[in-house]
Structure 1
Amino acid sequence: MTNRFPLFFALAASTALSACNLAPKYSRPAPAIPAALPQGGVYPAAATDAPDISKVGWRDFFTDDRLRRVIQLGLDNNQDLRLAAANVLQARAQYRAQRADLFPAIGVSGTGTYTNTAQFAASAGGALGGAGVQDVQNFSVSGGITSYEIDLFGRVRNLSRAAQEQYFASSEAQRATRVSLIGEIASAWLTLASDREQLAIAQNTLKAFEQSLELTRAQFRIGTASELESRQAETSYESARNDVATAQTRIAQDINALQLLTGATVAPELLPESLGDAKATIDALPGNVPSEVLLRRPDVLQAEHQLIAQNANIGAARAAFFPSISLTSTVGSIASTIGKLFGSGTDTYTVSPTASLNIFNFGKNQANLDYSKASRDAAVATYQKTIQTAFREVADAMAQRGTIDEQLRAQSARANAAEVAAKLSDARYRAGVDSFLTVLDSQRSAYAAEQSLVTTRLTRASNLVTLYRTLGGGLD
């Protein structure tokens, strides 16, 4: 059926003509950060055998089975993660809808028309005679391109590219949310362990201060101790009692925070009792880390995809200055009966190209182009700032990592010395050598040293989690 060739010719011609792209050529901006992360001074020495933390899966990085199970609980139930997943599905659907405009919309339609017409016959002498009735019917069927924009200047392709990059950006946002969630759950779990250990220290100290208070009150009653000593012992006791109540509140809040992060109730057997000396993570220290590793962070990749999308939007805005050409084309058949509808001699076709161009629209096209360029510039600034923020986060974590072991050794030595001093002071007091005020001061110092030691242990454990998160963290 040779009269159908115009349809295929129109399709081929539109495909050949759709070759112009007015979007600027994309070039990744050079990161406005040093080529390598800081070294020397407080920063740790490079470790040649250290693994690349960004490639270590979280199941391998976290070594405590309870913590691994809590993290998995969060990955299965966290609402922020579900929201990020829904955003990905939305972006993918929008991309598919936008991409469909690259292709012709194909449709088919059929119609039937029935007309009843009265006919009157003339009698002898010119008068009207009897009336007759004639039925007229027509049937048609057609199919083809119902709408198609010939993308001469790349408007539709650039809108599709922008939607695709937004989809990629939402996928990276989901990965960033996942990495952040893993780090937040681990930090909350470690904080709970630290606060429970702080509670145990406060409770032990409360018992010690209670014994001292009972002793000084008894001595005050018999006249061997002053009221001042009794009141000072009472002050230390009440302070420790307040610390116990405060620690209990923090523990309850820690559990609430952990359950919010996981999106479910965490079983008691999965919660830590104390921080202690146990390690919840591998002791991985990154070596010479080039700053390029930051370009693999999900939030950096997200910012770059958004930048590429804005670059494509400039091409779409530029294309609006040129004519828009659309095409409809159909082939079909027309006949007086359904039986003859697909017979020879009933074929028909239509080809209807349309071109339109806004001559004057009060600067709307220019304003849209200016907006697209400004959005691209904003995306460049966002991309650069995201990299700079990533650099600062990693540098800060490595600076702390370089000195935290020395801090831990110093705090351990301080706690040991304070404990020995408290025991010696108590013995000297009972022997009548030192005053009770010296005993109280030694007990307070030992209590503060124990608290600081636990805090430093938490800092060290959290620092490794922070390094894992800021370097991109493996997700498998």
Structure 2
Amino acid sequence: MRIRLALSLASALALAACVAGPPPEIATAPPELPASFAYQPEGAVAQSVAVLLPTGDPAFTDLAALALSDAPTLAQALARIDAARAQAGRAGAERLPSVNGSASVTGQRTNPAQFGSGLPQGIAFDTERVSYSANLTAGWDLDLFGRLRAQERAALARVDAAGADAAAVRLGLLSEIAGSVIDWRTLEARQRALESDLGAAERLAQLAGSRERAGIAPGFDRVRAESAAAASRTRLEALESERARLVGRLVTLTAQPTGKVRELLAQPAPEPAQPAAPASLPSQLLVNRPDVQASAARLAASDADLYATAARRFPQFNLSASLGLLAFDLGSLFSGDSVVGSLAGGLLAPILDFGRIEAEIDGAAANKRAAFEAYRGSVFQALGDAETAYGLVTAADAELAAASAEYASSQRAANLADTRFRAGLSDFRTVLDARRAADASGERVAAARGRASRARVLLWQALGGSDLAL
């Protein structure tokens, strides 16, 4: 009779907890991506994306290797992976039985008056006694409805998210270093162009001075030539502030002292190449972009969290057991009579919680919707980044081609003007104007080449990087 009553009560509790049904369904249809990139150049070829980085520059390879081994931002990301793994290990351990041991010595004194004064004749008891005990206890949540399994799945998904976050940090770190090294080389090229401009301006100033002293030209020609030389010196001095900014940025990125950074940047480098943009498909962003992978892992974690929260509406079945020794003198602790033990099974089910669990389920469902929208946002962020990068590569290449053509044309014009002036066929002002145009075009070519290289680094990052071993 008692067994049937207990079973009936357990069934009633289970039914009361299960009436709410399964967790709510949240639609998470994958975003639809276009068949191709609209701004992908027609000359894009199937090749490794690693060619987009300045891997031929020893400064980049050395600084990148140092950053990957010692950068604080990357070390923080790796530590977060370890923390997520620890949480996953804890979630997995929750599914297994727990066994604990304990030992104690307890002294107790009893006042006989608490039992009254009418004790039978000959009945006596010790008012002071000491007990000794040693116990092993075990407990196990059977997890019949998968709550603990869902929590473990969520923790493992967060490990994947932490790993993808670390990959994104690595990607951003390499991109920043590559961009800074390219900017440094661009400054060097601009300096060479400006020094060439300065030399040409000084030669014109010397020529104008000679003509002034000979009385065949006004002093105003010399003044204008010296003004052009001063303008080139000013632009040269302005490069130093940009160098300081780049060195400081690389110190932050690599966690290396300034002297080491400058030493590595002083290494000679080949002329930067401008490889063709690699061909890619929008769907490849889903597997190559670490931020998209991290968002997908967090979406999976939120789904598991929702299941685990909904499983709280169902009963929890627990088994517990204890085995120990209890004696009231130390010599009897290991005798057969001192062995004590227990075995129990328990059931815990919510019956009336006034909507607490339902509120938690609603919150978990909202978190899953937010995680899905974050995933969609990361997908379209990746798509937009790739489209922008492809467009920038095309535009930067066109700018470089136009700037190179302008430079060649202005140099021919400056040389022709100089020849005509020496032959007495044109005035000094024509020569000076032609030289100013040629001088400005040289620096513009250097800057345009730097922007073209920068655009390729941006494309490498937008496509998810990879194919790079340092």
TM over 0.5: yes
**Residue 65 of structure 2: aligned partner:** 72
Q: CA deviation at 1:223?
A: 5.7
**Residue 51 of structure 1: aligned partner:** 47
Q: CA deviation at 1:157?
A: 2.7
CA distance in 2, matches of 1:220, 1:425: 19
Is the CA contact (8 Å cut-off) linking 1:219 and 1:225 kept in structure 2?
A: yes
**Residue 167 of structure 1: aligned partner:** 159
**Residue 397 of structure 1: aligned partner:** 389
Report the 3-state secondary structure (helix = DSSP H, G, I; strand = E; otherwise coil) of the residue aligned with 1:102: coil
Is the CA contact (8 Å cut-off) linking 2:282 and 2:383 kept in structure 1?
A: yes
Distance 1:259 1:354, change over 3 A: same
Q: CA deviation at 1:231?
A: 4.6
**Residue 298 of structure 2: aligned partner:** 306
Distance 1:317 1:210, change over 3 A: same
Which deviates more from structure 2 when the two are superposed, residues 369-378 or residues 332-341?
332-341
- Quote the sequence identity (%): 26
Amino acid at match of 2:104: T
Distance 1:182 1:459, change over 3 A: same
CA deviation string 1:204-245 (max 9, x = no partner): 212322333354456557764446544533432332121011
Q: CA deviation at 1:158?
A: 2.5
Match status 1:430 vs 2:422: yes
**Residue 270 of structure 1: aligned partner:** 264
**Residue 198 of structure 1: aligned partner:** 190
Q: CA deviation at 1:102?
A: 2.2
Which deviates more from structure 2 when the two are superposed, residues 457-466 or residues 345-354?
345-354
Report the 3-state secondary structure (helix = DSSP H, G, I; strand = E; otherwise coil) of the residue aligned with 2:295: helix
Distance 1:284 1:174, change over 3 A: farther
Is the CA contact (8 Å cut-off) linking 1:327 and 1:354 kept in structure 2?
A: no
Amino acid at match of 2:191: L
CA distance in 2, matches of 1:276, 1:118: 96
Is the CA contact (8 Å cut-off) linking 2:208 and 2:225 kept in structure 1?
A: yes
**Residue 7 of structure 1: aligned partner:** none
Q: CA deviation at 1:434?
A: 1.7
Is the CA contact (8 Å cut-off) linking 2:321 and 2:341 kept in structure 1?
A: no
Is the CA contact (8 Å cut-off) linking 1:408 and 1:457 kept in structure 2?
A: yes
Q: CA deviation at 1:152?
A: 3.9
Match status 1:105 vs 2:98: yes
**Residue 254 of structure 1: aligned partner:** 246
Give the unaligned 5+ runs of structure 1. Answer: 1-20, 120-127
Distance 1:28 1:182, change over 3 A: farther
Q: CA deviation at 1:114?
A: 5.2
Amino acid at match of 1:140: S
CA distance in 2, matches of 1:275, 1:113: 79
Which deviates more from structure 2 when the two are superposed, residues 321-330 or residues 290-299?
321-330
CA deviation string 1:309-329 (max 9, x = no partner): 111221233233444555543
CA distance in 1, matches of 2:348, 2:243: 70
CA distance in 1, matches of 2:417, 2:345: 102
**Residue 137 of structure 2: aligned partner:** 144
1:93 aligned residue (86, 89, 104): 86
Match status 1:295 vs 2:286: yes
Distance 1:223 1:160, change over 3 A: same
**Residue 33 of structure 1: aligned partner:** 33
Amino acid at match of 1:294: L
CA deviation string 1:402-424 (max 9, x = no partner): 46545434332321221121111
Is the CA contact (8 Å cut-off) linking 1:23 and 1:316 kept in structure 2?
A: no
Is the CA contact (8 Å cut-off) linking 1:325 and 1:353 kept in structure 2?
A: yes
Report the 3-state secondary structure (helix = DSSP H, G, I; strand = E; otherwise coil) of the residue aligned with 2:153: helix
Distance 1:328 1:227, change over 3 A: farther
Structure 1 vs Structure 2 CA RMSD: 3.5
CA distance in 2, matches of 1:341, 1:273: 78
Distance 1:113 1:400, change over 3 A: closer
CA distance in 1, matches of 2:428, 2:79: 65
Match status 1:185 vs 2:177: yes
Amino acid at match of 1:317: T
Is the CA contact (8 Å cut-off) linking 1:24 and 1:312 kept in structure 2?
A: no
Q: CA deviation at 1:450?
A: 1.0
Is the CA contact (8 Å cut-off) linking 1:44 and 1:402 kept in structure 2?
A: no
Q: How many residue pairs are counted as aligned between the two chains?
A: 436
CA deviation string 1:70-114 (max 9, x = no partner): 210111222211121122222222332333322232111233445
Give the unaligned 5+ runs of structure 2. Answer: 1-20, 113-120
Q: CA deviation at 1:182?
A: 1.1
Q: CA deviation at 1:116?
A: 7.1
CA distance in 2, matches of 1:414, 1:187: 26
